Amino acid sequence: MNTRQDILIFYEGLNLCRNITGVEYDPEFTYSLSINIRELKNEYESIVSAVESRKKDFEAEKKAFAEENCERDELGNCIIENGIYKFAPEKQKLVNEKILELETKYKKELSENKEFLKGESKVEIYKVKNSDFPKMNPRIADMLFLMREPKEKE
């Protein structure tokens, strides 16, 4: 059984693998990448949409709070480093308290997302023999775990 969370991770791994330049894969592996991306695209998009719709209000309130309380540059723009709003050290306690408050307020929606992601996905995964699986970055290989055929027992 593949969970919806597994599908999210797997699809992102497929796209990372597909977008690596300068690497030639075995034809069977390349074929499996294409088939799986095509088969999973709609499932991936529907999972992401469902998760985002449940946490939309939570994210909107969190963003509004962050924009109101973050550090700003000389032009008055929010300072964002590595995708994260920057806060003055003296505001960190306030930020942590607000996040806890929002997590409590939206506990039901966030909990529903966790349960939803544990649910089963019915999409079939095209498997690849271990011998056709290329050597690659271990992080990406871990994301593609659904694509490997189980090893034969000796």
pLDDT tens digit string along 51-65?
A: 999 999 999 999 999
Write down the pLDDT at residue 152.
58
Amino acid at 109: E
Supply 30's token pair.
């390349």
The dihedrals phi and psi of 78, each to the nearest 5 degrees, come to -60, 140
Write down the pLDDT at residue 61.
95
Nearest-angstrom CA–CA distance, 116 and 109: 10
Which DSSP state fits 128? B
Nearest-angstrom CA–CA distance, 135 and 63: 40
| pLDDT-flagged residues of the chain (< 70) | 151-154
- Strands of 2-152 (E only): list them: 2-3, 80-81, 84-85, 120-121
Query: Is the overall model pTM greater than 0.95, yes or no?
Result: no
* Neighbour count for residue 114 (Cβ, 10 Å): 10
Question: In terms of C-beta density within 10 A (0-12 exposed, 13-18 middle, 19 or more buried), how is residue 50 classed?
Answer: middle
Amino acid at 131: S
DSSP 3-state assignment of 81?
A: strand
Write down the pLDDT at residue 99.
93
Amino acid at 55: K
Nearest-angstrom CA–CA distance, 23 and 18: 9
Write down the pLDDT at residue 37.
94
